[in-house]
A and B are shown apart, each in its own frame.
Chain A
C-alpha cells in the first residue's frame, strides 16, 4: 500500500486533472440552465490551477528513474510540456467562456472532454512506454475528434470531425504498426530498453531495413500529429471547421504534445548517447534520420506558407500558418542534438503566446461579427485599436521580426540548424519567412491602412476580460523577445533528454 502511495504520488497532476474533469461533468448536472458556461468553466480553471500547482511542485525534484511501475517518467522535460498544456487549456477554457460560437447547451461535457484531451497530452509527454504513449495519443485524438465536431448544427464542423477521424485512424494505425515492429525486433515496449537493443543491432550490422520500416511508420504517425507535410492535409479543413476555441487547442496544445512525444521517441531510440558512444552504423542512421526530418521541415514550411498566401479566410490562413510553423520547429528537431532540441522547446513556448493571441483575436472577431474574412477587417484598427494593436504584435511575432519573441525563437532555430550543417535549410526557412511577411501583413494592412469609412463593422468591443487576456499574451510575445534569458535557461534546463 505504501509502495502504491509512493508511486502514485508522482502522478498527482494527472490524478488532479482527472478528478476535476469528473467534477466538471458533475457540476454541469447541478447548475441552473444558462449558467453552465460560467460555472463549469470556473471549476475547470480551478482544476487547471491546482494541476499547475502540483506540476510546479514537481519541477526540479529528481524522481526515481521510472516511477509508477515503470510506465511514467517525470522529468523537467515532461513538466515543461505539461505546464505548456495546462497553460494552453486555461486559455482555451477562457476563450470558450467568452465565445458564443460554442453551443449554448452541454457545456459540462465540453469542458470534460477538453480536460480529458489535456490528460492525453500529459501522458503523451511523460512516458517512455510505447503502449502508454499510444494510449495518450488516442485519448488526445478521440477527445479532439469530438471537440472538432462540437458545433453539431454546423455542416463544416461535422465535416471537420469526420475528416479528422478518418485521418486520425489511419495515422494511429500506421504508428501502431511501427510500434509493433519495434516490439518484434526488441521484445520490449519500453523505449529505454529498445534504445540499447537497437544499438546492439546496429553494432551487429545486420542491415537496417526492419528498423527503417519501423521508424518510417512511426515518423509518419508523429508527422500527422504535428501536421507536417505531406501528412498535413487534414489540418486546414479541421482547423477551419472546428469551433475556434477548439482550433486553438488543436493548434497549440495538441501540436505541442505531438512534438514532446516525437522528441522523446527520437532521443531514446535513435540518438547515440554521447558518453557511451555508439556504433558507426547508428551514428550514420541518426544523421540520415535528421536529414529526412530536415527535408520534411523544408517541405512543410514551404507548402504551408505558399498555401497560406492565397487564403481569404483568416482562420484557414492561420491553419496554414501553423503548418508552416511546424516546419520551422522541425528544423530544430532535425539537428538531433541538444542545442536544436532546446531551441524547439523555446520556440514552442513562443508559438504558444503568438498563436493563442492570434486565434483569440480571430475568435473574438468572428464572435462579434460572425465573419472570418481577411478583407472584412478593413478599418478595424481605427475602430478597435486595442484588439488591432495586439493583433499586430502577434503578426509581427509570427513573421519573426524583432523585437518580439518570434524573432528570438527563430534565431535559435536557425543557428541550431546552421551549426549542424543545414545551411540550405536555414536559407529555405529565411525565404519562407519573407513569404510569410506578405500574408501576415495583409491582415495588418487591412486593419490599419484602409480608411475608417471602409470598415464593414462598427466597433468590435473587447470586453475587459478579453482585453486583459489579449494584453497578457501580447506582453508575453514582446517580453520574451527582449527578456528571453530566463526562458532560455529554463528551456535548456528542461531539455534534459540529451547530454
Chain B
C-alpha cells in the first residue's frame, strides 16, 4: 500500500515548504523590516497539500470499500522499529473503517479551514509560520489516527499537542496568549503521562504494542479484570487530557487565545476528538471492564452538563463555542462509556462539521468587527453579514439538535444508546440518571446556541456600525460546511432507514449492543425534538426582545448567574489548590536550587577554573618541561607495574 504513508507525508511536505518560505521571509526581514511573505503561494501550497491528502484518503476509502474480507489496508515500514527487551515496536499504518472516516474528516474539514485561513490570516506577519504549524498539525493528526500501534499513535499524539501549543500561543507577543499555550501544554502533559503508562502496561501485560495485539489479548480474556480496569482508566486519563474532560478540561476555554481557524480545526473538529478516538480504538478494554467504562460514561455526562452550564452566560463568542465543545465532547464520552460507539462516532463526525462551521462563522464575525469578540457589543449583524448569518444558523440548528439537522439524529442516537446500552457500573438504574443529565444538557445546548445567534445577529447594533464584508475564501468554506452539517444526517437515520456509518464501522466496533423497541425510539426522538425546540423558544423569548430585558432577568437570580459567569470558580479552585501547591513547591525548589545546587555548581565551576589554570600552565610550550613530564610519566608507569601488587 504505497499510498498510505503519503497521506500524512503530503501535509508534512507542505509544512516543510511553508517553513522554508518562512525562513526566507525572516531572511528578507533582516534587510527590509516589513518584508511580506508570498501569501498566495504559501496558502496555495498548504491548502493543496491537505486537499491532496483528502483526495488520497478518498481514493483509499473507495479501495477499502471495494475490498472484501476484513476490510483493512495496512502498511508496514518495519516490524522492528525499536527493538526492546520485550515485544518489538513496529512502525506501520492501519487504514480501516475507523481511521478511514477520521482521515476523511481531518483532511476534508482541514482543507476547508486552510482555505478559510488564507482569508483570515491575510496580512499577518506570521502568515507562513501559521501555515507551517497548521500543515504540521494535519500531518501529526493523520499519523495519530493511522497508527497501528500505541507508540506510533503517541508520535501523532505529541505532535498534535505541540502544534496546538504553538498555535494557541501563535500571537505570543501578548503574554496572555503565551500563557494560554503554556496552560494547554502543561495540562496535556498530565494526560500524556496517563497514556504513556497505559502503553507500557499494555505492552507488559499483553506482550504487544499494536492495537490488534492488545485488543485480541483483552478479548481473549488473557488479562484479569483489575488489569483491564487499570489499563482502561490510564487510557482514559490520556483521553481526558486531550479531549478536555473533567478535571483536565480547563485548558480548552483558554485555548481560544489562538487564531479562530485554529479553534475550529484543532479545538473543535479534530484534535480534541483524539481521546474519543482512542477509547473507540481500544474499546475491548472498556467492554470488559464495567468500572473503566462506567467512569468514562459518568465523567462524560458530568463534563457535558457542567461545561454546558458555563456556556449559558459566557459573553465571549468563542468562549461560548469552547464550552459547547467541551460539553459535546462529554456527550461523545457518555456514548462511548455505555458502549454506543457507533452513535458516539457518528456524533463525532457531525460535530466536526457543525462546530467547525460555527467557529469559522464566529471567526468571520470577529474579522468583520475588527477582532471584537464580546457578544454584548455585537447585534444586528444579520443584514451586514447575511452569509455568515444563514450558515451559522444552520450550524446552530445542528448543534442545538433541531429536528432534521444532523446533530438532531446523532445526539438522539447517543441518548438512545444511553438508555439501551450496557448498564453503567453494572447498575441498570444509573442509565436513567445519565439520560436525565444528557437531556438537561441538550436543553442548555439549544438555549446557549440560539442565545449566541440572537445576541450576534438580531436586534440593534450595539457597537460596531460598519462591519466590513467577508471575501469569498471566507464564505465558501462556510457554505460547504453548512451543506455538510445538514447532509451528514444520512450517515445514520433512525428506524434503520440508514445505518451507513454503523454498518461501516462494524469490523472495528462490532454489532451495536442493546436495542430499543420502535415505539421507544419514536418516543425518544420526539422527546429530543421537543427539548431542542424548547431551548430555542426560551432563547428567543429571552434574547429576542433585546439585551436589556435579558439582563434584567439575569439580575433577578444573581447567585446562579454569578456562579455561572464565574465558571463555578473552578479556575479559582485550581489556583487556590493545585497551582498554589505547585508554586510553593517550586519556591522551595528554587531556594534549594539557588543555595544548595548553585552553590555546588559554582563551587565545582570555580574548582574547574582553577584546575584549568594549572592544567594550562603545565603546557607552557617548552620542550624541556614536556620531556620532564614524559620521563616522569614513564617512570611512574613502570614503577607502578613493578611495585604494586
Contacts and interface: CB of A to CB of B under 8 A. Distances in A.
Interface of A: 163, 166-167, 170-171, 174, 208-209, 212-213, 215-217, 219-220, 223-224, 229-231, 233-234, 236-237, 284, 288-289, 292, 296, 302-303, 306-311, 435, 438, 452, 485
Nearest to B608: A435
B641 interface: yes
B637 interface: yes
Contacts of B615: 303, 306-307, 309-310
Contacts of A302: 611
A166 B634 CA distance: 16
B638 A288 contact: no
B613 A216 contact: no
B626 A309 contact: no
Contacts of B633: 220, 223, 229-231
Given A213-B638, A452-B30, 10 more contacts: A212-B642, A215-B641, A229-B633, A231-B629, A233-B630, A306-B608, A306-B611, A306-B614, A309-B609, A438-B605
23 contacts: A213-B642, A216-B640, A216-B642, A217-B634, A220-B630, A223-B633, A229-B633, A230-B630, A231-B633, A233-B619, A233-B625, A233-B626, A233-B629, A233-B630, A284-B645, A288-B644, A292-B637, A296-B637, A302-B611, A307-B618, A309-B612, A310-B612, A438-B608
Interface in B601-633: 605, 608-609, 611-616, 618-619, 621, 623, 625-627, 629-630, 632-633
B86 interface: no
A487 B478 CA distance: 55
Nearest to A452: B30
B204 to A, nearest CB: 23
A422 B634 CA distance: 23
B641 A289 contact: yes
Contacts of B642: 208-209, 212-213, 216
B40 interface: no
Contacts of B639: 216
B83 interface: yes
Contact of B626 (A234, A296, A452): A234
Interface residues of B, number: 31
**Top 7 closest pairs, chain A to chain B, by CB:** A216-B638, A230-B633, A309-B612, A233-B626, A212-B641, A306-B615, A307-B615
B608 A219 contact: no
Contacts of B608: 306, 309, 435, 438
Interface residue SS majority, chain A: helix
B613 A310 contact: yes
Contact of A307 (B605, B609, B612, B629): B612
A275 B619 CA distance: 46
Given A170-B627, A306-B608, A233 B641 contact: no
Nearest to B613: A310
A247 B607 CA distance: 31
A292 B641 contact: yes
Identify the interface centre among B30, B612, B613, B618: most chain A CB within 10 Å of its CB.
Answer: B612
A29 B41 CA distance: 56
Contact of B637 (A220, A310, A452): A220
B26 to A, nearest CB: 10
A215 to B, nearest CB: 6
B616 A233 contact: no
Contacts of A166: 623, 627
Contact of A167 (B630, B632, B644): B630
Contacts of B619: 233, 236-237, 307
Nearest to B629: A230
A288 B629 contact: no
A32 to B, nearest CB: 41
Contacts of A174: 634
B330 to A, nearest CB: 40
Contacts of A292: 637, 640-641
Contacts of A231: 629-630, 633-634
B638 A310 contact: no
Contacts of A288: 641, 644-645
A229 B634 CA distance: 10
A167 B625 CA distance: 12
B632 A230 contact: yes
Contacts of A213: 638, 641-642
A268 B428 CA distance: 79
Interface string B245-265: 000000000000000000000
Contacts of B640: 216, 292
Given A237-B621, A307-B619, A485-B83, A219 B637 contact: yes
A20 to B, nearest CB: 36
Could you say which of B609, B612, B629, B637 has the most chain A C-beta atoms within 10 Å of its C-beta?
B637
Nearest to B627: A170
A219 B637 CA distance: 8
Contacts of A284: 645
A170 B83 contact: no
Nearest to A212: B641
Nearest to B614: A306
A216 B612 contact: no
A219 B636 CA distance: 12
A105 B51 CA distance: 60
A125 B629 CA distance: 28
Contacts of B638: 212-213, 216-217, 220
A237 B625 CA distance: 13
B28 to A, nearest CB: 14
Contacts of A309: 608-609, 611-612, 615
A426 to B, nearest CB: 18
A337 B457 CA distance: 81
B641 A216 contact: yes
A16 B567 CA distance: 82
A216 B637 contact: yes
B630 A310 contact: no
A209 B640 CA distance: 11
B641 to A, nearest CB: 4
A289 B637 CA distance: 10
Contacts of A307: 612, 615-616, 618-619
A379 to B, nearest CB: 12
A163 B624 CA distance: 10
Nearest to B625: A233
B582 to A, nearest CB: 28
Contacts of B637: 216, 219-220, 223, 292, 296
Contacts of B611: 302, 306, 309
B145 to A, nearest CB: 25
Given A303-B615, A435-B608, A167 B626 contact: yes
B351 to A, nearest CB: 39
- Looking at B627, B630, B645, the one whose CB has the most chain A CB atoms below 10 A away is B630
Contacts of A308: 612
Contacts of B83: 485
B128 to A, nearest CB: 17
Contacts of A435: 608
Nearest to A284: B645
A292 B641 CA distance: 8
A212 B609 CA distance: 37
A325 B611 CA distance: 18
Nearest to A229: B633
A170 B621 CA distance: 17
A174 to B, nearest CB: 6
Which of A224, A284, A309, A438: most chain B CB closer than 10 A?
A309
Contacts of B609: 309-310
A302 B618 CA distance: 13
A201 B614 CA distance: 43
A284 B633 CA distance: 23
A310 B616 contact: yes
Contacts of A171: 630
Interface string B18-41: 000000000000100000000000
Nearest to A174: B634
